[in-house]
Structure 1
Amino acid sequence: MTNDFLPISRADMDKRGWDRLDFLFVSGDAYVDHPSFGPAIIGRLLEKQGWRVGIIAQPDWRSTAAFKALGKPRLAVLVSAGNLDSMLSKYTAARRFRSEDDYSPGGRAGLRPERATLVYASRIREVWKDVPLIIGGIEASLRRFAHYDYWSDSVRRSILVDSKADLLVYGMGEKQIKEIAAQLAAGIPMNAIRDVKGTCYRAASLDHLWNYAEAPSFAAVSGSKQDFAAAFKLQYDEQDPVRGKTVVQAHDGEYVIQNPPADPLTTAEMDEIYDLPYRRTYHPVYEEAGGVPAIQEVKFSLVSHRGCFGGCSFCAIVSHQGRIIQTRSAESILREAALLTELPDFKGYIHDVGGPTANFRLPACRFQAERGACKDRRCLHPEPCPNLEAGHGDYLSLLRALRQLPKVKKVFIRSGIRYDYLLAEGGDEFLRELCQHHVSGQLKIAPEHIAPRVTRLMGKPGKDVYLRFADAFRRMNAALGKEQYLVPYLMSSHPGSGLREAVELAEFLRDMGYHPEQVQDFIPTPGSLSTCMYYTGLHPLTGEKVYVAKDPREKRLQRALLQYRDPKNYPLVLEALTKAGRQDLIGYGDKCLIRPPRQPERPKGPAAKKARALPPGRDKGKQGKRKARVR
């Protein structure tokens, strides 16, 4: 195994003495050899197993030529749209084209097609009809069943059916790809690989299955929102590697069959993945274009774990990484940190240490390992579970060890903390060290909203919890003699939020004296509970009806309310407050959000008197024309 970049050309293969690849990885992202990028992880892991792997990054999909560049692989073609769903990387919440793509050279937009997984798979099938085709990555993972697609405003078939791939890998994929590679190498036909956890396949019947759960069919969920919600609930409930069943869904005469999720990675397996010989930067072919911007966010950051038991409704982590925390050893993280300090552009700052949620480094409770995550209970919402074992001791030990490394000046935490979990532990030890050593003037947190109706549907803690944490943060910084601030992330137009709730959030911002520079509009991405609510108007886990703002004008009004101080938003805020019946917030009082609209000034002087003397409905121009006709 070498720490050279994985081959991206025939010349690279020739340097290694390869005449043929075992696996070809086609990716919608530029090739960045770093453990935050899927192709690098999967490619390096297969390389360690002894397989020959090459990467075709962002191929020109308008013809088949680019897909043939490295030749036909011996075992399989792997296809991923990249680190983001290709529709999300291309369009904003308002369905406008994005002007930049951080995963492309120079941040240039337009280098990947819409629905990249489908397009790449189609081109591969044109080139090689018999090659085993495996799709994965976030796009395939979250579109594995019939799903609502925001950009077409329709229910689409499973991406496995539309791509005609042989196998779909969902989740992070390391365990799956190792097992699939071993079976293919042993001569097992692709259509016989049906027992790998964390994969989906197509079948004409269910005769070979037992102990499975069948979701309403594609035809049913396309025609009934109630059936769509029921299908989502079933898939959501079985998303557990310990207790989850096989889930099936009929699609036009065949079945999509999802095996239970892959088992959580052990600490040794996590260490193996992050100890692989990554180059930790983008391929040099992108240098002339200015590199790949996405590396800047992660180059000096450390992943400490995967998984999240926070249960935010709008987040798809549950469907991709799961609720069970998978942790790297402190030794592995310190080894990686030492490597970062030797990079020529390291300035002494580690930008982040965390995962989907920074301070979830340990399992939520002792029962998850043998029972899995609870089907009918959330770890933190609406209140912390009695079995929750909140603690930051292990995380603190890791942060202290990182601070002691030579050449390290500061270790920041930027991936976000769950302040309700911090408060659930009790005591001030973690908060004190967080404020003293790991905040650079501002701490970003994500209350998202404060209206009870909205936070309940979001699965987020309420306003009172936020205020408790804000007060504790303020008092701790005062005790430390530091001037540091909270920067809350906020979301507009989430299911459950109408104008009334948006006004409530605006009033909260007024009282807190906070003026957000950025506000995120809710985007219904595939795979999340909130997206199901957006499409169906139902909470799939409870069956309750949910208000959804779908009118573009209302969405603009909600967003404007959260930035009511911005002068260009004045007409929208005025309209929103009027529609919400909150004219009491228009005026000159301390509680008002905006001033009343200016009344046009009455004209003064002789001309004004003459104009006022004209008959009603007449102006000077018409009066003049009338006199001319009389003459």
Structure 2
Amino acid sequence: MSFLPITKQECEQRGWPQPDFVLITGDGYIDHPSFGTAIISRILESRGFKVAILAQPDWNSKDDFMRFGKPRLGFLINAGNVDSMVNHYSVFKHKRRTDAYTPGGAIGKRPNRAVIVYSNRAREAYKDVPIVIGGIEASLRRLGHYDYWDDKVRKSILLDSKADILIYGMGERSIVEIAEALDSGIEAKDIGWIRGTCVKAKEIELDEESMLLPSFEEIVSDKKKYCESFAIQYGNNDFITGKRLIEPYGGDVYVVQNPPQEPLSTQELDDVYELSYEGTYHPVYEKDGGIPAIKEVEYSIVSSRGCFGGCSFCALTYHQGRQVRGRSKDSIVREGKKLIAQPGFKGYIHDVGGPTANFRGPACKKQLTKGVCSEKDCLYPSPCSQISVDHKEYLELLRSLRGLPGVKKVFIRSGIRFDYVMADQNDEFLRELCKYHVSGILKVAPEHVSERVLSYMRKPEKKIFEEFSKKYKRINEQLGLKQYLIPYLISSHPGSTLEDAIELALFLKENGFIPDQVQDFYPTPGTLSTCMYYTEMDPLTMKKVFVPKTMEEKKMQRALIHFNKPENRETVKAALIKARRPDLIGVLLGRTFKNQEGGPEKDSRPQKSQNQPIHRNTGKNKRSK
């Protein structure tokens, strides 16, 4: 095995007069299957194509984009594992101080709106070379979308980037079809039929398999039209039922979104994750201290894709889809053995999961032939009667991994959906989770407790979290273990008022929860919640939604969740007075509250591990659900 070439000289050493593709990315080059650049480049390599990697090029001129000479078939461009604007700015639009995907964690190595900037520079370098854009930034901006940083509706990134083809979702099938079409001599402008892609058109033909979306001009000027467009997109994201969507621009240009690609089968996923990855960053970065992002995934295993959880604030539905597919146990065990053989392995597999670890296959058998329900969720407001709830296969997988010689512990950090656990009549999974796969703390994501807010989030009602908490505590007591539960929470989500934030604060105090991870709602492209944030309407019902938008209220809601912090006292007081609940000042800001064992505690908690850093892959939201 060896890394793909990153210089012209390395291409020449391989005997390449020119590469077939130059893959441009906003991240440093990490050849690990948790990174899209690695997967796409290795997939193409396995099909016989020559791929060179141009990682974090100097975008101030076209020179660096000519490093390898003119690629034979095209440029492939992504912003990296994270949208470049999310990578650069916090929800309060403050510039971030580090970049986990850059050598040494340095900032400033990629531009804002990287896909657009890179594409325009590549076009400047070689006007006639096809440009294919993809990755999370392109995928979630594939049609007209609200942009939080500009606070306006922007065009499809396909138009702003002047690229030829946009790949959305998981791109393995699409990129191979595009590469083979280009290699056969078909011009990029004529490759308009491939699933999982968006293309430009000057003329369209509407048929029963196509739907015309409101025009870009309409969604800019009318928020109801924006909601209407989003609702259509939301309902056409399945490979079986999804139609071709057409978005007009000015009457003479159309962006055509072809139906989604079929998810990879178990065998295809196995093949993808067993390609010849180096498993780490390129050695050229050693002098800078390496790339921090590898730390969270170096000893982790991706076991599945897709999520049928359907949380409003998550873009997975729009990007990976609701149909879940899992790798085989044999393939995952083989990867486990490879991890054990690595020199730096110390006995701990950090994660075995996907967007949601305990989802390993389609939610029900019906999805395989009829697709996902377009007007019904699998788990919200309660688990569907047709859903298959079974942890046996995942348990067998975990048992096989922890039984490998050299493995001390197998953690699950990519998210346990607790309502799915509660829907399982057999407690065997939760028992083994507590006994073998938790190290003092289990982090789960109720996100809120207000029924109103939970309904907008499309999350399970509060009582399910309360029942899970009790069962988790009871099982740990039976096992003789002292382990704790920490909730992940979101403040200022659409629908959340100060009263809802106060309700959450009182719940946390009453139950002794001190969250060490609170995320203020971030309106990223492609989510149902972002549509609510921009339009102040629920696009699925067209009913009005309250949205906390002022910085004052957002800070108040966040402070209420961390009411115990001394620096938040004045903000909490102000929030309670504004909400006309001064009677609660002494309740929330007093020094005594109940712990999880039922007894009183003072300022600090005895379980120090609750304040440990969150372990997560910064490119994939590794939150227990």
TM-score normalized with structure 1 length: 0.93
Residue equivalent to 1:476: 475
CA contact (8 A) 2:199 2:257 kept: yes
Residue equivalent to 2:219: 221
Residue equivalent to 1:9: 7
Residue equivalent to 1:625: none
Pairwise mapping of residues 416-431 of structure 1 onto structure 2 (< 5 A)?
416-431=415-430
- What residue identity is the alignment partner of 1:129? K
Query: 1:186-236, CA deviations, whole angstroms, 9 ceiling, x for partnerless residues?
Result: 111111111110000000111376520111111000001100000000011
The 3-state SS of whatever aligns with 1:281 is coil
Is 1:304 aligned with 2:299?
no
Distance 2:415 2:570 in 1: 34
The 3-state SS of whatever aligns with 1:575 is helix
Residue equivalent to 2:406: 407
Query: 1:561-584, CA deviations, whole angstroms, 9 ceiling, x for partnerless residues?
Result: 011111111110000000011111
- What residue identity is the alignment partner of 1:33? D
Residue equivalent to 1:593: 588
Residue equivalent to 2:464: 465
Pairwise mapping of residues 245-264 of structure 1 onto structure 2 (< 5 A)?
245-252=243-250, 253-264=252-263
The 3-state SS of whatever aligns with 2:307 is coil
Distance 1:275 1:228 in 2: 42
Q: 1:133 aligns with which of 120, 131, 134?
A: 131
Is 1:186 aligned with 2:169?
no
The 3-state SS of whatever aligns with 1:181 is helix
Residue equivalent to 2:565: 566
Distance 1:70 1:447 in 2: 49
Is 1:154 aligned with 2:149?
no
Distance 1:172 1:207 in 2: 27
- The CA deviation at 1:10 is 1.1
- What residue identity is the alignment partner of 2:120? S
Residue equivalent to 1:108: 106
Residue equivalent to 1:331: 330
Q: 2:204 aligns with which of 194, 203, 206?
A: 206
CA contact (8 A) 2:487 2:513 kept: no
Pairwise mapping of residues 317-356 of structure 1 onto structure 2 (< 5 A)?
317-356=316-355
Residue equivalent to 2:374: 375
Aligned residues: 590
Residue equivalent to 1:526: 525
- The CA deviation at 1:406 is 1.2
Distance 1:4 1:208 in 2: 48
Distance 2:333 2:484 in 1: 29
The 3-state SS of whatever aligns with 2:295 is helix
The 3-state SS of whatever aligns with 2:509 is helix
Is 1:241 aligned with 2:236?
no
Distance 1:61 1:362 in 2: 42
Query: 1:36-67, CA deviations, whole angstroms, 9 ceiling, x for partnerless residues?
Result: 01111000010010000001000111111111
Residue equivalent to 1:490: 489
Distance 1:36 1:235 in 2: 27
Is 1:277 aligned with 2:272?
no
CA contact (8 A) 2:141 2:525 kept: yes
Query: 1:458-491, CA deviations, whole angstroms, 9 ceiling, x for partnerless residues?
Result: 0111110000000000000000000111111011
The 3-state SS of whatever aligns with 2:443 is strand
CA contact (8 A) 2:269 2:326 kept: yes
- What residue identity is the alignment partner of 1:438? H
Query: 1:259-289, CA deviations, whole angstroms, 9 ceiling, x for partnerless residues?
Result: 0000110111101100101000000111111
Distance 1:504 1:580 in 2: 12
Distance 2:461 2:208 in 1: 43
Query: 1:339-367, CA deviations, whole angstroms, 9 ceiling, x for partnerless residues?
Result: 00011110000001010000001210000
The 3-state SS of whatever aligns with 1:593 is helix
CA contact (8 A) 2:230 2:539 kept: yes
RMSD: 1.0
Query: 1:521-544, CA deviations, whole angstroms, 9 ceiling, x for partnerless residues?
Result: 100000000000000001111111
Report the structure number with the largest CA radius of gyration: 1
- What residue identity is the alignment partner of 1:298? V
Is 1:551 aligned with 2:546?
no
Residue equivalent to 1:90: 88
Query: 1:137-194, CA deviations, whole angstroms, 9 ceiling, x for partnerless residues?
Result: 0000000010000011000000001111110000010000111111111111111111
Distance 2:370 2:590 in 1: 58
Is 1:294 aligned with 2:293?
yes
The 3-state SS of whatever aligns with 2:212 is strand
Distance 2:431 2:518 in 1: 29
Q: Do the aligned partners of residues 179 and 208 (structure 1) sit closer, same or farther apart at CA in structure 2, a change above 3 Å counting?
A: farther
- What residue identity is the alignment partner of 2:124? E
Residue equivalent to 2:357: 358
- What residue identity is the alignment partner of 2:6? I
- What residue identity is the alignment partner of 2:136? I
Name which of structure 1's ranges 505-514 and 208-217 shifts more when overlaid on structure 2.
208-217
The 3-state SS of whatever aligns with 2:376 is coil
Identity of aligned residues (%): 54
Distance 1:301 1:471 in 2: 30
The 3-state SS of whatever aligns with 1:235 is helix
Residue equivalent to 2:505: 506
Distance 1:135 1:380 in 2: 33
Distance 2:546 2:126 in 1: 48
Pairwise mapping of residues 5-154 of structure 1 onto structure 2 (< 5 A)?
5-154=3-152
Distance 2:389 2:515 in 1: 31
Distance 2:288 2:72 in 1: 33
Distance 2:425 2:361 in 1: 16
Query: 1:577-611, CA deviations, whole angstroms, 9 ceiling, x for partnerless residues?
Result: 00011111122xxxx00259xxxxxxxxxxxxxxx
Distance 2:397 2:115 in 1: 38
Name which of structure 1's ranges 203-212 and 540-549 shifts more when overlaid on structure 2.
203-212
Q: Could you tell me which runs of 5 or more consecutive residues in structure 2 were left unpaired when the two chains were aligned.
A: 592-625
CA contact (8 A) 2:486 2:514 kept: no
- The CA deviation at 1:416 is 1.0
The 3-state SS of whatever aligns with 2:588 is coil
CA contact (8 A) 2:451 2:461 kept: yes
TM-score normalized with structure 2 length: 0.94
- What residue identity is the alignment partner of 1:527? G
Distance 1:445 1:178 in 2: 38
The 3-state SS of whatever aligns with 2:377 is coil
Pairwise mapping of residues 433-472 of structure 1 onto structure 2 (< 5 A)?
433-472=432-471
Residue equivalent to 1:267: 266
Distance 1:560 1:413 in 2: 30
The 3-state SS of whatever aligns with 2:589 is coil
Distance 1:21 1:223 in 2: 45
* Runs of 4 or more above 4 Å deviation: none
The 3-state SS of whatever aligns with 1:141 is helix
Distance 2:205 2:417 in 1: 45
Distance 1:263 1:158 in 2: 23
Higher relative contact order (CA 8 A, sep 6+): 2
